[in-house]
Chain A
């Protein structure tokens, strides 16, 4: 039984898991969907009421009957490396690859359908709320007046993007930033603004969940600091215990969303409350493992290598 990892070749975070799978003697195939067609070859046949499929890349072969699990890490777009890439070729190749993988009986970290929905930040806040997390008051709006009223009501308010920074060269960053009461909100009519009450925080928390295993890391914040990723403070990530009610809420969140892997961001306030900020279904973990020594890559490898579905996460087909 073989593990399939969908990711780009340059992804050294995936290497951390590949190394653990090698240590454990678990067969695996690593594929960047961008290399299909070309470097990678695929065939799936649906005949006589039966199905089987094969995938080969760099001399490694995988049959759908022997597929143990799929890890969707940082895959390229299907056919992106083709001699003549096009949106149509990408769509055709996506059909071939994912149509075949969905036909197999396997476990997903994370299933693309679950992942797609889980990326929506406004929905995350709703699920977080019903899972029992504290969620800062938030608005997403294309109405300038609503944005202005929100800032008047809550005072210290941050703006952040829902989907990440805009793509392009040179690469852009979009740090979470405080907006003042005198801000010109007219641009809100030209693009949705996600505004949230600022949490005066003692620390940023990153919690990584793999199946039922949770690893939390804490990075102390400087007074008034906004985006924990920007500005050198000299503080690093340290392991921290997961409070019981947070663990319960995380398990509820993962069960409801059907995610096998997720990386949560929280802001810890002066009373020690962990405020839910977001849940990244494909969040990075390499930086946490390197700084805290928490064995996250090994836990991912263990999950992928399992032969039976996890207890809490339903098997995906």
Chain B
């Protein structure tokens, strides 16, 4: 396991300097970047990608796809007295394992879809 530990760190020498990239929009930009030359090179700063103001799609979005999950109306409703969902016959929804398995809210993919920290 330890063999990978060094790999997880991204160029520690530049770590404290990287933050200074936020100065890109200050008049000091050129000076700052020159003083950081080794880091500058390592970071591969390349403004051509956004030059001309044309829209470039964020890289990660190229991998998004329709989830294919339909917003089906669940066959249960919230019981305000019990404070949980019940089936039409009054039994708690959690007593129906098959229903839970089919209900998106308990599955990992549905969680990712509706909640950012599934």
Tell whether, in the assembled complex, residue B64 and residue A165 are in contact, meaning their CB atoms are under 8 Å apart: yes
A192: B residues at CB distance < 8 A: 58, 60
**A146 in contact (CB, < 8 A):** yes
Q: How far is the CA of A28 from the CA of B1 in the complex (A)?
A: 44
With A139-B10, A164-B116, A286-B106: A185-B93 Cβ-Cβ less than 8 Å: no
Given contacts A14-B84, A137-B4, A174-B64, 9 further A-B contacts (CB under 8 A): A13-B106, A16-B94, A18-B84, A30-B84, A58-B81, A129-B5, A160-B60, A171-B67, A187-B49
Tell whether, in the assembled complex, residue B113 and residue A135 are in contact, meaning their CB atoms are under 8 Å apart: no
| Distance between A208 CB and nearest chain B CB, rounded to angstroms | 12
**B44 in contact (CB, < 8 A):** yes
With A159-B59, A171-B113: A190-B83 Cβ-Cβ less than 8 Å: no
Tell whether, in the assembled complex, residue B64 and residue A166 are in contact, meaning their CB atoms are under 8 Å apart: yes
Interface residues of B in 11-64 (CB under 8 A from A): 42-46, 49-50, 55-64
Tell whether, in the assembled complex, residue B100 and residue A134 are in contact, meaning their CB atoms are under 8 Å apart: no
Enumerate chain B interface residues (CB-CB to A < 8 A): 1, 4-5, 7-10, 42-46, 49-50, 55-69, 71, 74, 76, 78, 80-85, 92-94, 97, 100-101, 103, 105-118
Enumerate chain A interface residues (CB-CB to B < 8 A): 9-16, 18-19, 22, 28-30, 58-60, 74, 115, 119, 125, 129, 132-139, 141, 143-147, 149, 159-161, 163-166, 170-175, 177, 185-194, 197, 206, 229-230, 273, 280-284, 286-287, 290
Q: How far is the CA of A18 from the CA of B107 in the complex (A)?
A: 18
Tell whether, in the assembled complex, residue B8 and residue A137 are in contact, meaning their CB atoms are under 8 Å apart: yes
Q: How far is the CA of A104 from the CA of B94 in the complex (A)?
A: 32
* 7 nearest CB pairs, A to B: A191-B58, A145-B44, A286-B106, A189-B49, A187-B59, A164-B116, A58-B80
Q: How far is the CA of A138 from the CA of B5 in the complex (A)?
A: 11
With A58-B80, A147-B59, A159-B60: A284-B118 Cβ-Cβ less than 8 Å: yes
With A15-B84, A190-B58, A190-B59: A173-B10 Cβ-Cβ less than 8 Å: no
Total number of residue pairs linking A and B with CB closer than 8 Å: 194
Tell whether, in the assembled complex, residue B58 and residue A287 are in contact, meaning their CB atoms are under 8 Å apart: no
B46: A residues at CB distance < 8 A: 143-145, 189
Tell whether, in the assembled complex, residue A135 and residue B67 are in contact, meaning their CB atoms are under 8 Å apart: no
A10: B residues at CB distance < 8 A: 74, 78, 85, 105
- B97 (CB) vs chain A CBs: closest residue: A290
| Distance between B26 CB and nearest chain A CB, rounded to angstroms | 18
Q: How far is the CA of A22 from the CA of B71 in the complex (A)?
A: 30
Tell whether, in the assembled complex, residue B94 and residue A19 are in contact, meaning their CB atoms are under 8 Å apart: yes
